[in-house]
Structure formats: C-alpha cells, structure tokens
Amino acid sequence: MANGLVRKAAFFGFALIGAEVAYAILRPAPRLPEFDPSGEFGDPSNPTVRIAVLGDSSVTAPGVRHPDEIWIRIAVRRLAEQRHVVLASQAVGGSKAVDVRNGQLHAALEFQPDIAVISVGANDAIRGVPLRRFENDLDHTVAALRDSGAAVILSGVGDLGTIPRLHEPLRSLMTARSLAYHRVHQKVAERHGAIVAEHRNDDRTLWLRDRSLWSEDLFHVSALGHARWAEYAIRALQPVLADG
C-alpha cells in the first residue's frame, strides 16, 4: 500500500515537472519563419552524393534569415568542393521520433540517399516521451535507412538546459533529461554502425552566456548557433565521404 502511494506521488511529481517544462519552453513567443534546406551544391560533373535529412525545427531553422544559414547547408556547401551533393530534407518543425518514423522515413527511403542525417529528440525530451518508446522509434528509422545501404549520422540531443527560457530548477532538470535522450542516440548508433555528431560537446558555458547564439524567441538557435552546429556536422560527414 505504502509503495503504491509512493509510486503515485512520484508519477504526479514527474507529470507536474513535465508540465512546467512544457509551459516554460512552449509558451507563446514570436512566430518565426521556417525553411527547407534542400538543394544541389557543387559541380554536377563531379561524383554525386545524395544526402537525406530528417528531423524537427533544428533543421527547418526558425531563427535564421535564409536557408544558407542552416547548419546542414553550411556543412554540405563546405564539403561540395569535390562532389555534386543533392540534399533533400523531409524535416518538419515540432517532430518527435515517432513523426520521423511515420511521416518522413518513407520519403527519405524513396530518395535513395547515400547518407541520411537524423536530427530529432529535443521535442521527445521536452514532452516527456518515454525513453523506451523514443529508442524504439529512432531504432526503427536508423535500421531502415541502414538496410537501404545509406550511411547514417545522428545529431544526438543537445543540452536543453541551456535554453534561455529556462531557469532553475528546470534548467538542471532539462540538462539531465536531454542527456538521457542523447545516450539513446549513442546506443542506437552503436547498434547499427551509425555516427553521432556530438554537438552536445560544445562549450556549455558559452551557450548559457552568449544570447547571440539564440533567436529572438529564446528557444531556437540563431544563425551563429547554426554555424557552431555545422562544425560538428562537418566532422561527422568527412569520414563518411572519405570512405566513399
């Protein structure tokens, strides 16, 4: 009886904290335009590399002024000197891993990519999607892309505790929670021979201190933030491209 009451109290406590996190992050803010980073880059006479990108608003990039400022475009343009790169994005703002699995994966497979980049997990962490469910959806997506012959790069989940809208104790809670979802990325990547870009390793103090890395809604990152993310994407893409 006592154990049951403790479990119920813990459940309602976590639910309350989750509601507070969702309110703090998702409360009304300036509505920012989103973009599609798809395009072709480099000399068409060079060997063609097809890259699919799936994910959420980390790809559609509210907070930048032009698609050229999105991290995946920055990375692709930098790496297209000796290649012709065709980039096709299926990303939709607000997506969770289940949305990528059910709403984006099929189109990505039809594109027949050589490389697939998946940037998802922040919305799962914010909305408290159970880790097992998140892992199952991410694993299904990665497995399907790997079975198609594509190399897969995962974004990992950044430190959501650096989001300017948050204050303690929610800041510390989201740092810990996002790390748990990031570790799922690492686990799934190891299982399927994928790569994690590990942008979570960027300087946390800088992200907490420098508001220029964030857009005016204090939730999505700015063009300067995307430029930092791009460096990690480039490091992940380079060995894949070098392996042919």
Cα separation of the two ends of the chain: 61
pLDDT band (50, 70, 90) for residue 242: confident
State the pLDDT at residue 3.
Answer: 52
3 state DSSP class of 176: helix
State the pLDDT at residue 112.
Answer: 98
How large is the average pLDDT for residues 11-29? 51
The parent domain of residue 20 ranges over 2-242
Euclidean distance between CA atoms 244 and 227, whole angstroms: 26
State the pLDDT at residue 9.
Answer: 41
State the pLDDT at residue 26.
Answer: 55
State the pLDDT at residue 237.
Answer: 96
SS (H, E, C) 144-168: HHHHCCCEEEECCCCCHHHCCCCCC
From residue 91, give the alpha-carbon distance in Å to each of 68, 122, 146: 16, 14, 19
Return the bridge partners of 115, or none: 51, 151
| C-beta of residue 138 within 8 angstroms of C-beta of residue 187 | no
Report how many domains make up the chain: 1
Return the bridge partners of 117, or none: 53, 153
How large is the average pLDDT for residues 216-241? 96
Is pLDDT larger for residue 81 or for residue 102? 102
pLDDT band (50, 70, 90) for residue 27: low
How large is the average pLDDT for residues 37-43? 97
Q: Average per-residue pLDDT in the chain?
A: 90
CATH of the domain at 145: 3.40.50.1110
Chain segment 181-210, per-residue pLDDT in tens = 999 999 999 999 999 999 999 999 999 999
| C-beta of residue 105 within 8 angstroms of C-beta of residue 54 | yes
| C-beta of residue 126 within 8 angstroms of C-beta of residue 166 | no
Percent of the chain with pLDDT over 70: 87
State the pLDDT at residue 33.
Answer: 94
State the pLDDT at residue 243.
Answer: 78
Chain segment 142-194, per-residue pLDDT in tens = 999 999 999 999 999 999 999 999 988 999 999 999 999 999 999 999 999 99
Chain segment 92-136, per-residue pLDDT in tens = 999 999 999 999 999 999 999 999 999 999 999 999 999 999 999
Greatest distance between any 2 Cα atoms in the chain: 72
